[in-house]
Structure 1
Amino acid sequence: MLLKPDLLLKIKRYYSIIRDIALNLNLIQGHLKYTKFIILCRSRTGSNLLLNQLQFHENVRMFYEVFSPDNSPKEFWDYINHDIQIIRDLKNNNPIKLIDDFVYREMPLNISAVGFKLFYYHARKGKQQEIWQYLEDRQDIKIIHLVRRNLLKVHVSQQMALATNSWYLKNGKKLDSNTIIELDYEQTRRAFEETKKLEAENEIFLKNHQILKIFYEDIVQNNVLEMEKIQNFLEVKHTPVYISTKKQSTKSLPKKIKNYSELKTSFQGSPYASFFE
């Protein structure tokens, strides 16, 4: 009988816990010679899909949003052998120590790559800002730059998530398919421009790093090929990985946007006209 993806992920996590405990007790060997990386992106670009697939790889230790401003319950799995309050204090007051001592720490020998997800706008206040200079200086850290070609779908996904307060679905869960939104032209145009600006700025900022640019659309259309490309970049063995996340909506854009026709007309002749079906 085949095990469900969620159960497989839990089994992998429990093995990780056991290995970490054994490493801390000097019962097994550890090392630091693994590939260090981050997934750099904005929200609503399929980052949970990519992160989730990498979590399934037996040789990858994939942390969640280390510098998210929210205290996510996913931190429980990231730092299960540690006092979570200590972790949260370090996140705010000594973020570099958090990365060095808890993320890119000594790992069991079976781990070949360690990474975490970072949004463009994470860690932009207080002591947390220090990590951006740290990342610029640490050219040994590889960058998976995840982007989405169709920025209208990014913006719609963002607005739908805000409207429904649903940001992440697992297989078997459903979203209200009747949700329809109305978009303001100026707000939508500014959203496009801001995302393009952030994409360009971050590529320039980390230009001295090894960067792999990945498109969400390609992950969806040819998942096996794209995952092989990512695994080569991370220098881990080729392993089939599961998908346990679920698209929040499969409806076409005209069925999600109340004023779709008017919006499409307004963007005709602009650099963003191709985003409309």
Structure 2
Amino acid sequence: MNTSIRRIIGPKRILARLEHEVFNVIGHQDYTPFIVLTRSRTGSNMLISMLDSHSQVAADGEVFRTLEGRDVRRVLRRSWGGQRRNIKAKGFKIFYYHPLDCPDSEIWSVLAGMEDLKVIHLSRRNVLRTIVSRKLAGEIGAWTSKQYAEIGSPDKASVILEVGEVREALEQTAMWEREVSERFSKQDILHLTYEDIVSSPEDSSREISEFLGVEYEALSTKLKKQNPERLEVLIENFDQLKDAFADTESAIFFDE
């Protein structure tokens, strides 16, 4: 392999890929398949990291972010192929609107037809936080904790949000969340919120372990919250937005 390519990919990632290829063929398949269903900026990277810290769980990232012409069933066979003997649950993260390049993909009908599939539905109780986080990430160009650490946070300051864009994002997110139970009516669904995971990690660990049918282990992650500041600090026109949503169900998002 070309030295420059090896330096970019890294020996650990190369080894991990080779290991995945081997176990995909010779590994066992007697495990529970699951997905983490959510939208962006809900703490899904944190949850995937926590799941992957469990010795009996293997969790991948956005397997279906884009298809790029790939066959859905082939991608699934690769993701849910053979696993190491210790793995009892294997899954990946998928957003409500994936794949980005194929909105009419059959992935959703395929997943809905898997009655043994476990669905972990992750949401954020304060949806406004999700909207702010996404806007900040887009403007800064940092979508992960690692990228935030590399760029630094002193200049991220705040964002200006239009009333219309907030209203549209709130309505869209609410619609996505309502559709989960309808789309996966045949599956067991565990509803988790980012706030509960952060405030009660031990309880969440027990709940997740029981749901996936694995032994209890305290789940851990090295990832940190990216925007801990209060909304009044993160949103430049906070007062304007608060007034605009004062007489709506969304008013609670402004009173943390």
TM-score, L = length of structure 1: 0.80
TM-superposed deviation, 1:271: 1.0
Match of 1:212 in 2: 190
Q: Which one-letter code corresponds to 1:49 in the other structure?
A: M
Alignment of 1:175 onto 2:153? yes
Letter in 1 for 2:32: T
Distance 1:270 1:246 in 2: 32
Structure 2 residue aligned with 1:113: 89
**Which secondary structure state, in structure 1, belongs to the residue aligned with residue 105 of structure 2?**
helix
Q: For residues 171 and 159 of structure 1, do their structure 2 counterparts lie closer, same or farther at Cα, with a shift above 3 Å needed?
A: closer
Match of 1:97 in 2: 74
What are structure 1's unaligned runs of at least 5 residues? Answer: 1-11, 70-87
Gaps of 5+ in 2: 1-11
Give 1:64's aligned amino acid: G
Q: Which residue of 102, 120, 137 corresponds with 2:113?
A: 137
2:46 to 44, 49, 59: 49
Deviation at 1:16, TM superposition (A): 6.5
Partner Cα distance (1:187, 1:226) in 2: 32
Alpha-carbon distance in 1 for matches of 2:234, 2:203: 30
Contact 2:24-2:82 within 8 A present in 1 as well: no
Letter of the 1:196 counterpart: A
Task: Name the CA distance, whole Å, in 1 between partners of 2:174 and 2:56.
Answer: 33
Distance in 1 between the 2:167 and 2:96 partners?
Answer: 19
Do 2:65 and 2:100's aligned partners in 1 also have CA atoms closer than 8 Å? no
Paired residues of 1:95 and 1:130 also in contact (CA < 8 A):
yes
Structure 2 counterpart of 1:158, one-letter code: R
- SS of aligned partner of 1:61: strand
CA 1:257–1:126: 2 relative to 1, 3 Å = closer
**Is structure 2 residue 238 aligned with structure 1 residue 260?**
yes
Shift of 1:186: 1.3
Identity %: 34
Paired amino acid for 2:134: Q
In structure 2, C-alpha distance between the alignment counterparts of 1:264 and 1:192, rounded to whole Å: 14
Q: Is the 8 A contact 2:24 2:81 kept in 1?
A: no
CA contact (8 A) 2:140 2:156 kept: no
Change beyond 3 A, Cα 1:14–1:123? closer
Quote the Cα distance in structure 2 between the aligned partners of 1:133 and 1:25.
Answer: 26
SS of 1:272's partner is helix
Relative distance call for 1:178 and 1:138 in structure 2 (3 A) is closer
In the alignment, the residues of structure 2 paired with residue 185 and residue 169 of structure 1 have an alpha-carbon distance, to the nearest angstrom, of 28
Deviations 1:56-97 (A, max 9, x none): 11211111100113xxxxxxxxxxxxxxxxxx7xx6231111
Normalised to the residue count of structure 2, the TM-score between the two structures is: 0.86
**Amino acid of the residue matched to residue 227 of structure 1?**
S
The Cα shift of 1:246 comes to 1.6
Q: Give 1:59's aligned residue.
A: 56
Is 1:193 the counterpart of 2:171? The answer is yes
Of residues 265-274 and 176-185 in structure 1, the stretch that sits farther from structure 2 once superposed is 176-185
Residue identity opposite 2:47 in structure 1: L
Matches within 5 A, 1:62-81: 62-69=59-66
| Conserved? CA contact 1:96–1:130, under 8 Å | no
Pair 1:243–1:23, CA change in 2 (3 A): closer
Give me the whole-angstrom Cα distance separating, in 2, the residues matched to 1:44 and 1:24.
Answer: 31
Are 1:37 and 1:141, in contact at CA under 8 Å, matched by a contact in 2? yes
Decide whether the 8 Å contact of 1:37 with 1:115 is kept in 2. Answer: yes
Deviations 1:132-180 (CA, angstroms, capped at 9, x unpaired): 1101111111100001111111111111111111111149924235521
Q: How many residues end up aligned between the 2 structures?
A: 243
- Give the secondary structure class of the aligned counterpart of 2:139: helix
Q: 1:153 to 1:61 in 2, by over 3 A?
A: same
Amino acid in the other structure paired with 1:116: F
1:19, distance to aligned residue in structure 2 (A): 6.0
Deviations 1:109-148 (A, max 9, x none): 1111100000000026549701111011111111000011
Which letter maps to 1:159? K
